Structure 1
Amino acid sequence: MTVWIDGDSCPKQVRDIINTRCINEKIQVHYVANSSLPLPESPYISMILTSNAPDSADDYILEHSRQGDLILTRDIPLASALVKKRLVVMNDRGNLFTKDNVSERLAQRDFMQMMREAGIGQDKGKNYGPKEVKAFAACFDRELVRMLREERFAKAART
């Protein structure tokens, strides 16, 4: 299992949770972004720098992630593409993207973007505090435990 992080917008509190948990579990984490992030020294944590081209980090994650990986992103179009690959995708607010909800979230995102471009509506959801960090930590832990259990079960079945 590898954890992929769309690092361009990943809050520090979330990085800290991911890093601590993945180092303890010896899980590889790849942060992908077009600028460097401050990360701890660990053989389990790497920074992959992409170009400044639009969606370069998204494209890298989409190309390199595989079945059994966990991906963290705020980017709903990327989440939609990853869900189509049948990967586990979540955001930093503890929301899991699934085949049942990603199309609706994409449509909602597109509608809100259209409204902002027309000068209607306001940017909501910019607040990120303890409640969101707690929701992320709970979802991340739940998915990580579930995926590790499935991975161990699959390895045991092969032997």
Structure 2
Amino acid sequence: MDGDACPVRDEVFRVAARHGLAVTVVSNGSRGVRLPDGIRRVIVAEGADAADDWIAEAIRPGDICVTADIPLASRCLAAGGHAVAPGGRIWDLENIGSALAGREVARHLREMGRETRNAAFTPQHRSRFLESMEAVVQRALRGGAAPPRPMPDFFSD
């Protein structure tokens, strides 16, 4: 799990406990967040992409990454893993390309002085996340990892 400011930590812990899955929380510092027993914490060096780089290098086919970071989700999919956004979006090889393109458009608009905002996190997002996480866990447990495939490198961070 990309642990920096993740709004669904407790939900991840509950789903993982129900299925007996290991969880690793990766962050750029302890952030004062207390983790339940049995949860692995990895603290990486400060830096914009240090946590993302660690996750992308460590993820294996069938692993699940919880992240709102679209480029990280893309890297996880390319490695054969799964990716779920805290709002419940399941990233896959069919939708990640358009998400990367949309992210680039939003970045360009911000550079031009336009304001772009993400929607506030709601109870509906939390509910959608739980449904999506359960679906992805079931797929991963059945061995439904996406086969590794080079992802287009259209955009960089």
Query: Normalising to structure 2: TM-score of the pair?
Result: 0.84
Q: 1:148 deviation in Å?
A: 2.2
Residue 10 of structure 1 pairs with residue 24 of structure 2: no
Give the unaligned 5+ runs of structure 1: 152-159
Larger gyration radius, structure 1 or structure 2: 1
SS of aligned partner of 2:127:
helix
Q: 1:126 deviation in Å?
A: 3.5
Residue 28 of structure 1 pairs with residue 22 of structure 2: yes
Distance 2:111 2:89 in 1: 26
Which residue in the other structure is 1:157 paired with?
none
Q: 1:85 deviation in Å?
A: 1.6
1:76 to 59, 70, 73: 70
Q: 1:84 deviation in Å?
A: 1.5
Aligned-pair identity in percent equals 29
Number of aligned residues: 143
Residue 138 of structure 1 pairs with residue 134 of structure 2: no
Which residue in the other structure is 2:97 paired with?
103
- Which one scores higher on RCO, CA 8 angstroms, separation ≥ 6? 2
Residues 132/20 of structure 1: CA separation in 2 closer, same or farther (3 Å cut): same
Is contact 1:23–1:42 with CA below 8 Å preserved after alignment?
Answer: no
Greater helix percent: which structure? 1
Distance 2:14 2:77 in 1: 26
How large is the Cα RMSD of the aligned pairs? 1.5
Greater strand percent: which structure? 1
